[in-house]
């Protein structure tokens, strides 16, 4: 499926969103918990986590495990929720540091593999379904430092493009042994939140389009991915305005 560039639509909806602000504490809390469940479920589901959205809600809000579901899936839900909280702590910062990225990964991953959480991989990895080869472990520290050094220049882009490029570059470096996609989506949302945008969710139902756009970027064409993310932001903006309308009743 071809995705249209929605940056102009993103700007239009963002003006409508900003007209609702500032939000009161009740609205902020309601929206935060809504997106905690939605982003945790969707981002994990994109990677094969078996918990449904309702089951994710039970795990996070009630602390109850779901019978018959792998323990790892529960750890991923709780870990992602903790990383989500860090997004809100960092959203007011003007910059993103290498330490921020490492901490996002650590919070998500430490229950699954404490030794690898928040540290760069020491082994080569194969990305299934593609012929792309990520950088070797020896080059990762420099690649990440180089990536961080480009952020001021990237930030001159439209906020949605900037967020998309952060996702894309981190996913391309693939610095962690596991959890790269989830960390990239957290990083993308951190960039969006720092620019005043709502949390953006990539629906698991369009996973195939998401992977195809990433693969096009691996071959040198970033346009499909940038268009794809602008559409995801647009859908999330519409949902955010719907939620604000419900809260204002």
List the chain pLDDT tens, one digit each, 249 residues. 789 999 999 999 999 999 999 999 999 999 999 999 999 999 999 999 999 999 999 999 999 999 999 999 999 999 999 999 999 999 999 999 999 999 999 999 999 999 999 999 999 998 877 788 899 999 999 999 999 999 999 999 999 999 999 999 999 999 999 999 999 999 999 999 999 999 999 999 999 999 999 999 999 999 999 999 999 999 999 999 999 999 986
Distance separating alpha carbons of residues 128 and 172, to the nearest angstrom = 14
Distance separating alpha carbons of residues 90 and 83, to the nearest angstrom = 11
Token digits for 231? 């559409």
Q: Can you give the pLDDT at residue 126?
A: 86
Tens digit of each residue's pLDDT (9 = 90 or more) over 88-121:
999 999 999 999 999 999 999 999 999 999 999 9
Q: Can you give the pLDDT at residue 130?
A: 77
Indicate the SS3 state at residue 137: helix
Q: Which fold has domain 11-247?
A: Fic-like fold (1.10.3290)
- Active-site position among 74, 80, 105, 174: 174
Distance separating alpha carbons of residues 97 and 95, to the nearest angstrom = 7
**Mean predicted lDDT score pLDDT of the chain:** 96
| Contact (CB, 8 A) for 243 and 16 | no
A 10 A CB-CB count for 247 gives 14
Q: CB within 8 A of 67, min separation 6: which ones?
A: none
- Of 155, 151, 158, 166, which is closest to residue 230 (Cα–Cα)? 158
Domain boundaries, the chain: 11-247
Indicate the SS3 state at residue 162: helix
- Of 29, 25, 35, which is closest to residue 57 (Cα–Cα)? 35
When computed from its CA atoms, the radius of gyration of the chain, rounded to whole angstroms, is: 18
Q: Give long-range contacts, CB 8 A cutoff, 24+ apart: 45-51.
A: 45/204, 46/181, 46/185, 46/202, 46/204, 46/207, 46/210, 47/76, 47/181, 47/182, 49/73, 49/76, 49/77, 51/77
Per DSSP, 114 falls in state: T
Distance separating alpha carbons of residues 94 and 238, to the nearest angstrom = 26
Q: Does residue 74 carry a catalytic annotation?
A: no
Per DSSP, 24 falls in state: P
The dihedral built from the CA positions of residue 125, 115, 151 and 6, taken in this order, carries a sign that is: positive
| Contact (CB, 8 A) for 13 and 237 | yes
């Amino acid at each position: 499926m071809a995705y249209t560039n929605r940056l102009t639509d993103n700007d239009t909806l963002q003006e409508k969103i900003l007209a609702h602000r500032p939000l009161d504490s009740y609205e902020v809390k309601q929206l935060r918990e809504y997106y905690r469940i939605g982003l945790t479920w969707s981002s994990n589901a994109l990677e094969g986590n078996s918990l449904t959205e309702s089951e994710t809600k039970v795990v996070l809000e009630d602390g109850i495990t779901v019978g018959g579901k792998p323990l790892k899936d529960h750890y991923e839900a709780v870990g992602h929720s903790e990383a989500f909280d860090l997004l809100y702590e960092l959203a007011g910062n003007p910059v993103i540091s290498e330490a921020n990225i490492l901490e996002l990964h650590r919070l998500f991953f430490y229950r699954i593999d404490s030794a690898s959480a928040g540290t760069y991989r020491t082994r080569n990895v194969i990305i299934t379904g593609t012929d792309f080869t990520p950088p070797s472990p020896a080059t990762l520290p420099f690649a990440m430092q180089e990536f961080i050094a480009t952020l001021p220049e990237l930030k001159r882009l439209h906020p949605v493009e900037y967020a998309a490029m952060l996702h894309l570059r981190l996913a391309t470096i693939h610095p962690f042994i596991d959890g790269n996609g989830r960390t990239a989506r957290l990083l993308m949302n951190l960039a969006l939140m720092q620019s005043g945008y709502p949390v953006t969710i990539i629906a698991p139902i369009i996973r195939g389009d998401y992977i195809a756009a990433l693969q096009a970027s691996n071959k040198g064409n970033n346009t499909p991915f940038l268009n794809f993310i602008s559409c995801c932001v647009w859908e999330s903006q519409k949902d955010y305005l719907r939620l604000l309308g419900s809260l204002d009743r």
